[in-house]
Amino acid sequence: MMISMARTVVLAFICFSSFWALSVSGAGSPPAPILPPAPAPAPMPDYVNITDLLSVAGPFHTFLNYLVSTKVIDTFQDRANNTEEGITIFVPKDSAFTSLQTPLKNLTNDQLKSLLLFHALPHYYSLSDFKNLSTQVSPVNSLAGYPLNFTDDSGTVHINSQWTLTKVSSSVHASDPVAIYQVDKVLLPTAIFGTDIPPTAAPAPAPVKDIGPAADSPGDKDESASSSPTSSPSTSSSFKIVNLGMLSHLILGFVAGGIISVMSL
């Protein structure tokens, strides 16, 4: 019993010693610093689905079908959502492809991909940005690596690929980092279609009105009237001379007859 009590006393002494040592050491240490809360992460930009945008707007079905079949749509989506530079896309309407069905069928798959990439710039540009592009930077390389020339005419953006002259006709989507603009024609690069560019057709001449013969002027009528046989001066003079001659013969006849009568008496 004495041994167990000794053990209890020893354990109590050890616990008290440990507690006292901890309290003494903690009393002299500075308080732990209070750190400010970490800032909340910046919100991620909304995901832009180019396929959905082109499906709703338009009609851009032909261009969208080419993007999907060649997988160029994946390149556009990656730049739209995974890069800081963003992307600017020029989308032709369905009617712009009507006259190009045969030429496009003759392109290889790589050429078709380049043609589609030619319709995009590797940066986000608002419509107001094109004014600076036209005066300072133009031409600008497309995602295909081929240059495009831009001019700004009082807010209307014109695009020149040498083969194609067109303009931006409307804005489909313009929110950084993605801009999509509608164009009226397909952009054709010289790197694919060659430099033998057909000349621009001259405008058709204005139709010439059918002008009839000029009406006779009053002076013409007077001249024609004065030259008619009934009013010819020479004819009137001859008529007067003949009448005077006949009158002279009659007078001479009466005078001669009177003289002969007198002499017979």
Domain spans in the chain, listed from the N-terminal domain onward = 50-127+168-188
Burial (Cβ within 10 Å: 0-12, 13-18, ≥19) of residue 98:
exposed
Q: Buried (b) or exposed (e) across 143-169, using 16+ Cβ within 10 A?
A: bbebbbebbbeeeebebbbebbebbbe
Per-residue model confidence (pLDDT) at position 248: 55
User: What are 193's two structure tokens?
Assistant: 């279609």
Per-residue model confidence (pLDDT) at position 68: 97
Per-residue model confidence (pLDDT) at position 176: 93
Express each pLDDT in 180-228 by its tens digit. Answer: 999 999 999 999 988 766 555 445 555 555 555 555 544 454 444 444 4
* 174, 180 Cβ separation under 8 angstroms: yes
pLDDT band at residue 42 under the 50/70/90 scheme: low
Upstream peptide bond of 189 is cis (omega within 30 degrees of 0): no
Verdict on whether the full-model pTM lies above 0.75: no
Instruction: Please say if the pLDDT value at position 127 is more than 50.
Output: yes
Type of residue numbered 23: S
